[in-house]
A and B are shown apart, each in its own frame.
Chain A
């Protein structure tokens, strides 16, 4: 595991993964996907907005480098399928973009930044059902912080991060946040 040899405390909390460690974790996940899917044939990567989308693109690029294989990559917004809509103000929708090849009969790898309660993934599974019928669905996450509330388990994990429920985990990605890092802070820290 990418050990946090020099945790850096900063304004946003404690950095538990730096850019280099994120890069290594994604490289390993890309290899694992190739291994588990027997060469990445018929694989479709779907990122869950916001930060799952650039992660899916990075994984697709890695797989392209390693195997010269172009893996279809898209995004899957789960907002309309969430189970907590009634408890929060209506929120803006993310983007759902499927690759032209669709998802029927494919092995879909859902990609997200943090796995926590598992409710987002449950919503994603529902959203996916309405879009087609994949042969199999797998889950890749950069950080698994535990505290599952549903029987959901990731297939590929960048880093297992034991946390308390009071803590907040932030994944920062260059595409969205101008830098790569995984931060952990106490509740009441940055929102």
Chain B
């Protein structure tokens, strides 16, 4: 594995499977009386969040703490960033404090990549603008594999069928605001690396310019895609990033690309419904769908902690990188 996790494209198939298999073993920790491992004792993980986030920040914090790392939370509000400090100066401050890993969320695409050039520790991208969010893609892949490849550990003696397996033959449809979605980009890259067939279903205005170079198919019609899908991943309509009118009205968007009970009924029986959160109930996903048995939304959050533990362990658990050891 590389030293940083900036993009889902940094992960080879072997790397991705190693992360998923590690997460699979770590998942059993949740059933144990002591949900903590000593592995990262004495390591410091900084959560550097320039953008609001609930689940990702808490998820990384829980993951680092379960591995016994020290966690420093930094949010732009109430920090020197509010006084105009640049990313580079913030990075140098963190460097001086000896961070072994920096988890960064930033509104600018490429911020994680820039940061990686300034700090000696590992950088984990927790979402940079409309670019990437690789750990979200990993937890989605993990959720898909557990649900559809049968590693879900209902009993402690269950088999090992999902271990080492990719996502070959699984058809994933990613629906909605692809243009502003770092989740979509990371998922397309990772899921195709793992062998899944990905289709984007979105209005033409919400697809990025060079989408034809992505390793996926594109469709403008959700209804024809649904019966062929094993997984439907609904994306949030990111109105805070929208600077122009991308669709006539929210109601029209919802009618053509929203997932309601009637649309859900067109899915095959085994299909699952995913959403990276936070949801706009009634816009891209109806409340009855979000709360249905097919929805994996709550499970995705639980799997997020496990997957991020796997990432932190694999980046920090081994040999210290020469630059850090000095």
Q: Taking beta carbons and an 8 Å cutoff, which residues of A are in contact with B?
A: 77, 80-81, 85-100, 126, 130-132
Contact = CB atoms under 8 A, between A and B. Distances in A.
A90 B313 contact: yes
B318 A85 contact: yes
B34 interface: yes
A81 B29 CA distance: 14
Nearest to A100: B156
Interface residues of B, number: 25
B314 interface: yes
B319 A87 contact: yes
Name the prevailing secondary structure of the A interface residues.
Answer: loop
Contacts of A88: 318-319
B28 to A, nearest CB: 6
B25 A93 contact: yes
A95 B38 contact: no
Contacts, number: 58
A100 B34 CA distance: 17
Interface string B125-156: 00000000000000000000000000000001
A96 B25 contact: yes
B70 to A, nearest CB: 16
Given A85-B317, A100-B156, A94 B25 contact: yes
Contacts of B28: 96-97
Contacts of B39: 80-81, 85
B37 A91 contact: no
B160 interface: yes
A131 B313 contact: no
A92 B22 contact: yes
A149 B225 CA distance: 62
30 contacts: A80-B37, A80-B38, A80-B39, A80-B313, A80-B317, A81-B39, A86-B318, A86-B320, A88-B319, A89-B318, A89-B319, A90-B1, A90-B314, A90-B315, A90-B317, A90-B319, A92-B21, A93-B26, A94-B25, A95-B25, A96-B25, A96-B28, A97-B28, A97-B156, A97-B157, A99-B156, A126-B38, A130-B37, A131-B34, A132-B33
A55 B94 CA distance: 48
Nearest to A87: B319
A131 B32 CA distance: 6
Given A90-B315, A90-B318, A131-B34, 4 more contacts: A81-B37, A90-B314, A90-B317, A99-B156
B138 to A, nearest CB: 16
**Which 8 A-B residue pairs are closest in the complex by CB-CB distance?**
A90-B318, A93-B25, A90-B317, A89-B318, A130-B34, A80-B37, A80-B39, A90-B314
B22 A93 contact: yes
Contacts of A100: 156-157
A131 B156 CA distance: 14
Contacts of B22: 92-93
Contacts of B316: 90
B196 interface: no
Q: Which of A77, A81, A87, A92 has the most CB of B within 10 A?
A: A92
